[in-house]
A and B are shown apart, each in its own frame.
Chain A
Amino acid sequence: MRKIGKQTIEFENMPNIISSYSIVGPKEGKGNFSQYFHKILDDDLFFQDSYEKAERKLFLTATQEALKKCDMSQQDIDVLIGGDLMNQIISSNFNARELQAPFLGVFGACSTMVESLIVGACLIDGNGFKNAVCVTGSHFSTAEKQFRYPLELGTQRPPTSQWTVTGAGCIILSSKDSNVKITKATIGKVVDWNVCDVNNMGGAMAPAALETLYTFFEDTQTKPDDYDLILTGDLGKLGSEILRDLMEFRGYKLGANYGDCGQMIFSNEQKVFQGGSGCGCVASVLSSYVIDRLKCGKLKKVIVVATGALMSTISSQQGDSIPCIAHLVLLEGKDV
């Protein structure tokens, strides 16, 4: 492992992705990636008596199924890394309690999946760990309760709003060889361009994505066209348009190979305004569609930039602007 440029890590042993599993709610299951998700729930309560418990079960199911896919048991986990949107990242904590695995809880709001992957990749690249299990997710109903209004309150959502994805994704990194590797990563800085509107997350997070993506291209001396796919986490429709504008202004024009998980996860008929958001958004798309395409060789080099808005309801109510962060990993697939 070595540092290149200002903020980028190059992995020398190249941690491998040996297994991934995605589980989503019924609404996400009707979206654009329905054929790629591993499991689609019929009911977002997932046979539990509260949505918080359902979110935990999403985590546990994703982890157990991902372990099963690569013939691992929970005793084999060297380190479990994860986070979520709930206060004190309870869903991840309770998941770790069930799995009885060494656990590192991380928080990067909606960027948590990529943050987990970076931490896991570093631990494996240092030759210390054989595997790292990264799991993150979110639930629409728990996020609404914590950040917004009760579900049954008759309110109108503003046109800039996004819909928190109900879903979880688990990705298992290993020192064992596989088709998909993490080759580089860029750790983002907290970026705050003084956007205060909590209903416009895309607008608040776009500058963070810009800074990380720009730094990555500068550090690696590459340009957007060198990659098959550049994927942002959950900027949504508006946020990704803004990122295109900002990147062009900085001299890197994003072409047709740029997409946003939040914008793509729901179809236009689902009326979710700017698209999906939440830890589960990038986690479920990454652990299903992206890794699937990399495995079968249809994609070779994929940049994933997950963005997160690091505010709380208290900081927003006290008038603070929204600090945001974006972390980046470069995934590469072998020729098949």
Chain B
Amino acid sequence: MHIPDGFINGATSLGAGVVAASSLAAGLRRAGRVLQDRQIPLAGLLAAFVFVLQMLNFPVVGGMSGHLLGGALAALLVGPWIGLVVMTVVIGVQALLFADGGLSALGLNVINMGLLTVATGWLAFRFLMIVLPKNSTSILTAGAFGAWLSVVVSSLGFVGEYSIGGVGNASLSTVLAAMAGTHALIGIGEGLITAGVLGAVLAVRPDLVHGARIFGISRADTTLLSRRRVALFVAGGVAVAALLVTVVAPLASDDPDGLERVAIDQGFADEAQDHSLGDSPLAGYDVQGVEGDRMGTVVAGLIGLGATFVAGVAFMIVVRGKRVRSNH
């Protein structure tokens, strides 16, 4: 998800630009030791690979498709520092040459899709490998988990930026639940693909996988996760998504954000609510007829997730029908 201009205010965007630039400087310094000037072509080819991978759609459900962020995968394949530089270049080229993501939001996009995905994917991988046995199955497992977490953390980065400098004043808990919940689902795809690609590379050129090289793994015992592991991984991701929507979101909404707080203090909150969305079935994200505020929010959140999902599938079936015909 590329943030365009005007989505986050100017001051926050500039601050993010400074953070992104300094992380890039650190990445360049550390990558320079490994990469040196002479291996520039290699890094360029890797950037082209990530760019193309982001264009390649994979199937999700009923013809709905998604694409890879690739930060965690890049970190595991070429190491975190080169991975960071490569991801930054990809995002920069997308913004400047393809107008994908706003120029003023470049720092924000680098943080979310570069810095956070690479750092989260790599750190989660390293932490898991401390406890897991040092073999190729563990590489795939830890890589899948790191990739899943990288997507969730990336979406939290967006929520954080939105809460600091977002425009539009949608309530923070709504944004948090929607983003983290859906990305816990999207992350399942990222995790499975990361493990799959790692397995495919391990099978042929295990020496090219940085994450395997540092543990001295030069041979792949297995190149696929077992069915049981995949099932556990998917179930875990779904469970976290459900947990985020049902537990975290209502907890967060107990603490009203700025404007609501002002409204309550001023004593016109009740009045305002009466003629806002009063008659809509999902009024204020509480389902009427369900007992208790919290329970109502939970059900509303789940209905929201479900409705988004159904709308997405329906949309993709329509679009896909066209695309398939024009392909053949």
- Chain A partners chain B: no
